[in-house]
Amino acid sequence: MDSERLIEFVKQHKDEDPLKLLLQQKKYPDVDMDAVAQQIEGQRQASAKWPTLAGCQCFLYPPRLNREQSSSEETAFLKADIIQSIYGERQHQLRIADLTGGMGIDSIAFAKMPDTEVDYVECNTELCRLMEHNCSVLGLNNTAVHCGDGIEWLRNSKKKYNIIYIDPARRDTHGKKVAAFENCTPNILEHKELLTEHCDFLMVKASPMMDIDKGTEQLGNVSDVYVVAVRNECKELVFICGKSGVETRIHCTDIIPGDRVYNNDPFTRRQEAQAECIYCKSVGCYIYEPDASLMKGGPFKLLSEERGMQKLARNTHLYTSDHLHDWMGRTFCVLKEVSLNKKAITSLIHDGKAHVIVRNYPVRADELQRQLGLKEGGDLFVIATTVGTKKTGFVCCDQKNYQHFLEEMNK
């Protein structure tokens, strides 16, 4: 079934259930229903994960596994922004190689940068066919598609790039997820010399589960590490290799699609070690929880020093203040400190609904919720934590509900 017929059939049936269409193969003997279902599912996934592609009805999507492994649009364009920041105001064309092309979202983001030439390399022939089609319908004439193993292709290439981008596959032969570089495919530690001799900068996408300091040590010459979260969920680490003799800077970023991108000031491990942290004697009007990228990056003392906020305890990564701060994460208004027993909680939370959050406390959130007789839901939060050496709890709410709940509890 050629691409034009496939696209036309999908346009006519895009609102139908893909599973039901698969059962109608006899009704449409000349139609590849597996391909149709794949495209309809891809289009529906695109509205959330690749919104600018959702408006392109001629874009062809790969199978589900390749879609799931692909970068989101937001993280792909963030990587393009990182490349722009490396080169700043430039007078020359950028040459970029994506050696693990996959669905091609990262290559597409790179190709949309002005005055850029992109080599997309992928060993899966079907993905290459789709990428050639998609580059055509998107008008990306600056992208060349190469079918083959990325490392071997580079080994046989005489090109020198500004950026080589590589996203090693993070599943083993049994399909189990892995994080360490040495367990990924390709093992870039084995090919580091080859990769670096062909580029100015090597950009490596890694699992958010990877230890940042270990990854930095293994790669060597890492100038920057970007911890990337989307909607407060850590999605990926991006290592930039290429400068020797510099301290590694860690950047923490949280992307809220349709709203804004939150960035913390980049920091080094030395700056964090030397920072003077302020610890609280009592909790103030607000409790602050760092977002997922900050929790992963770890500028815990710096957050206190730079913002003048008090940390609850050495191993409690929560902060407090009496004055409201703009914050990269969640902000809770403190209604009352409370003993974490069922009687005390019931007297304050009459409908029995709250979200339980545990930070540096010896009981899991689900177990504490059961002990307190609470159901998940409502607009209140019970935070179980450690302040100094004291195990304690706080009933909190968000800012918009603060006055309402304050009046309710003071009745």
Q: Are residues 280 and 188 part of one domain? A: no
129 and 180 part of one domain: yes
Greater model confidence, 173 or 296? 296
Residue 371 lies in a domain: yes
Cα dihedral 159→162→164→165 (10° resolution):
-150
Place of tokens 């892995």: 178
Q: Around 338, how many Cα atoms within 13 Å sit in the side-chain half-sphere? A: 22
Report, as an integer, the average pLDDT of 38-49: 94
Percent of the chain with pLDDT over 70: 99
Q: In the prediction, which pLDDT does 92 show?
A: 84
Output the pLDDT for position 19: 87
Give the chain's mean pLDDT: 93
Please check whether residues 79 and 48 belong to one and the same domain: no
Q: How many domains does the chain have?
A: 3
d(CA 241, CA 396): 43
- 158 with 285, same domain: the answer is no
The bridge status of strand 390-397 relative to strand 329-338 is antiparallel
Whether 124 is in a domain gets the answer yes
- Calculate mean pLDDT across residues 395-404: 90
Q: What is the pLDDT of residue 31?
A: 87
**One domain, residues 289 and 345:** yes
- Three-state secondary-structure class, residue 140: coil
The answer on 325 and 246 residing in a single domain is: no
Whether residue 160 is predicted with pLDDT greater than 80 in this model: the reply is: yes
Q: Which of 75-79, 130-134, 174-178 has the lowest mean pLDDT?
A: 174-178
366 domain-assigned: yes
Q: Domain for residue 363, yes or no?
A: yes
Question: Residue 268 domain-assigned?
Answer: no
pLDDT in tens, 225-255: 999 999 999 999 999 999 888 999 999 999 9
Q: Answer yes or no: do 49 and 84 share one domain.
A: no
Residue 154 domain flag: yes
pLDDT at 179: 87
90-100 residue pLDDT tens: 778 999 999 99
CA 27 – CA 410 distance, rounded (Å): 68
Mean pLDDT of the 128-133 span = 97
Average of per-residue pLDDT across 130-158: 96
Q: Are residues 57 and 77 in the same domain?
A: no
Q: Report the pLDDT value the prediction gives residue 148, as an integer from 0 to 100.
A: 96
Same domain, residue pair 217 and 79:
yes
Say yes or no: 84 and 57 in one domain. no
Contact 257, 263 (CB under 8 A): no
Q: How confident is the model at residue 405 (pLDDT cuts 50, 70, 90)?
A: confident
Mean pLDDT of 371-377: 96
Of 209, 233, 263, the residue that ends a domain is 263
> pLDDT at position 404, please?
83
pLDDT at 336: 94
The residue count of the chain comes to 411
1: confidence class by pLDDT, cuts 50, 70, 90: low
- State what percent of residues in the chain have pLDDT above 90: 81
Judge whether 223 lies within some domain. Answer: yes
**Of 263, 292, 313, which residue sits at a domain end?**
263
Find tokens 């979202």 and name the residue: 105
Residue 190 sits in the same domain as residue 117? yes
Does the structure show a pLDDT above 70 at 116?
yes
**Of 12, 27, 61, which closes a domain?**
61
The structure's pTM equals 0.93
Domain that holds residue 191: 68-263
269, part of any domain: no
> Do both 217 and 312 map to the same domain?
no
> What is residue 243's predicted lDDT score, i.e. its pLDDT?
86
Using 50, 70 and 90 to split pLDDT, how confident is the model at 411? low
Where residue 170 falls among pLDDT bands split at 50, 70, 90? confident
Cis bond leading into 186, ω under 30°? yes
More confident residue, 199 or 172: 199
CATH code (residue 204): 3.40.50.150
